[in-house]
Structure 1
Amino acid sequence: MARIKPQALLQQSKKKRGPARISVTTIILSSLIVVLTVFFLYATYRHWSQRSRIQIENNKQSIFEGDGSFIDSKKSDLPGYAILDTAKGSITVEFFKDSSPEAVDQFLDLCQRGHFNGMLFRHVIKHYVIEAGSSDKLGAAEDWTLKGKHYGQLDTSLKHEAFMLGTSKAKHDDRGFELFITTAPIPDLNEKLIVFGKVIKGQDVVQEIEEVDTDEHYRPKSSIKIHRVTLKQSI
């Protein structure tokens, strides 16, 4: 066997070698691996992003539910009833805490300060309202009174119930907080008063106050007072 000379080997090693040819199968497999890797990364990203969003929404829902429970708990802690001890007897009222929260809050605050203790029933309009307050002015009841004089009798439409507890819609300070208890249905009640409760016991006492003698300005000839107001959580 002929031996290759060292010079020939050196010349062969110096020759440039062309690039190795890549088969089609290798290209396809490499592309498939890249696609699978990208798909896996995208799927992982979507999974964790959705999980984070769901967790955030659940946390928000928990917060809102917690706030609602706190508000409901706060409302339930407030007294729901009041007993007005008057010169004619006791009148028990139930508050509309959901529909008239501001008026109820103001009434409760005034009760705790003894605002209504010794307050007089200033006006008594038969078959309409009795009013307790600090002012001799008719206020919200004036329009009803004028209407009654004009038509000869007061309107008793059944649009609103009797024995509703309310206060004037006119802006006033605590000293001017008036109490109205209707003794008959009043058609335009919501236009004049903020209704924040109703009489659930002592309707006969309201009617007895309604029957007292009054002067031409609907002021009782004999004093009728609210001696005290007692707040109750339940009856």
Structure 2
Amino acid sequence: MARIKPQALLLQSKKKGPTRISLSTIVTCNLIVVLIVLCLVATYRQWSQRSRNQLDYGLPNLVDVDTVGDPKKFDLPSFAILNTSKGLITVELYKEGYPEIVDKFLDSCQREHFKGMLFHRVIKNYVIQAGDFQRLGAAEDWTMKGKPDSISPKHEAFMLGTSKTKHDDKGFELFITTAPIPDLSDKLIVFGRVIKGEDVVQEIEEVDTDEHYRPKSPIGIINVTLKREV
């Protein structure tokens, strides 16, 4: 049997021995692992924030069986809760009556347009108004007219409306009636009604105002929460 030379044995042992991993390879693998972890954390945070936003607005995370096939009914909440400095006012939205106005209102809520908005006009036995303080419009006309003996149900108190004037991107005017108004349909687009918190509306109505119907102490909307059910 032929003897294997020592040099041949040395070469064979080098070939069969474990391969050494370089330091640069280890560093590269560690960097890849760190990047993967960071991506997972960022994805989780984004998902968590989206879930919180959906809960804040009362939007459903799961499809409701009754709304399958009708995306509008699925997407639009039916109620809005105005969290004011005097308390909560819950309003039911007339989605079928004025869908375009309700869409704009909901969009304004989601953009937090009403957050911190003041009630800048308070006219006792008529309306409280929030929005552009330079637009008095309908509210000013109402103070110049008396009340008729007979009132249509559409003109009742605690209705939520907005001005019939053209809406722009600057804002969205809100009116809540505090008494029956004879020419309500001529001045406002009524797209909802107060179903809870009438006492809060009346408390706002009773605040002291100046000669221009502006509250002497700030009263405003802290935020608005949208709900499908209350």
| TM-score range relative to shorter protein | 0.5 to 0.7
Provide the residue aligned with 1:70 in structure 2.
69
Aligned to 1:105: 103
Q: Equivalents in 1 of 2:111, 2:150: separation in Å?
A: 37
Counterpart of 1:93 in structure 2: which amino acid? Answer: V
The one-letter code sitting in structure 2 at the alignment partner of 1:136 is Q
The answer on whether the counterparts of 2:113 and 2:171 sit within 8 Å (CA) in structure 1 is no
Bigger Cα Rg: 1
Are 1:110 and 1:174, in contact at CA under 8 Å, matched by a contact in 2?
no
SS at match of 2:103: helix
Which of 158, 164, 175 is 2:151 aligned to? 158
Residue 82 of structure 2 contacts residue 221 of structure 2 at CA under 8 Å; is this kept in 1? Answer: yes
1:76 Cα deviation from its structure 2 partner: 3.9
Residue 130 of structure 1 aligns to a residue whose secondary structure is strand
Q: Does 1:225 align with 2:220?
A: yes
Residue 151 of structure 2 aligns to a residue whose secondary structure is coil
Determine the C-alpha separation between the residues in 1 that align with 2:111 and 2:135.
Answer: 24
1:203 aligns with 2:203: no
What amino acid is the match of 2:178? T
* TM-score for both structures, normalised by structure 2: 0.67
User: Could you tell me the TM-score, scaled by structure 1's length?
Assistant: 0.65
Matching residue's letter, 2:176 = I
Question: Which residue identity lines up with residue 81 of structure 2 in the other structure?
Answer: I
- Evaluate the alpha carbon distance shift between residue 113 and residue 158 of structure 1 in structure 2; reply closer, same or farther with a 3 A threshold: same
Q: Write the distance in 2 (CA, Å) between the matches of 1:184 and 1:76.
A: 34
Tell me, yes or no, if the aligned pair for 1:120 and 1:226 is still in contact at 8 Å: yes
1:189-231: per-residue Cα shift (whole Å, max 9, x none)? 1110010000000000000000000111111011001000000
**1:183 equivalent in structure 2:** 178
> In the TM superposition, what whole-angstrom CA distance separates every residue of 1:122-154 from its partner, at most 9, and x where no partner exists?
100101100011223312212112225xxxxx5
> Root-mean-square deviation (CA), in Å?
1.8
The AA in structure 1 aligned to 2:83 is D
1:16-27 matches, within 5 Å, as none
Q: Which has the higher helix share?
A: 1
Distance across 2 between alignment mates of 1:146 and 1:217: 13
Alignment of 1:9-158 (within 5 A): 70-71=69-70, 73-147=71-145, 154=147, 157-158=150-151
1:84 and 1:177 map into 2 onto residues whose CA distance is: 14
Distance 1:157 1:214, change over 3 A: farther
Give yes or no for contact 1:156–1:185 (8 Å, CA) kept in 2: no
Query: Runs of 5+ in structure 1 lacking a partner?
Result: 1-67, 149-153
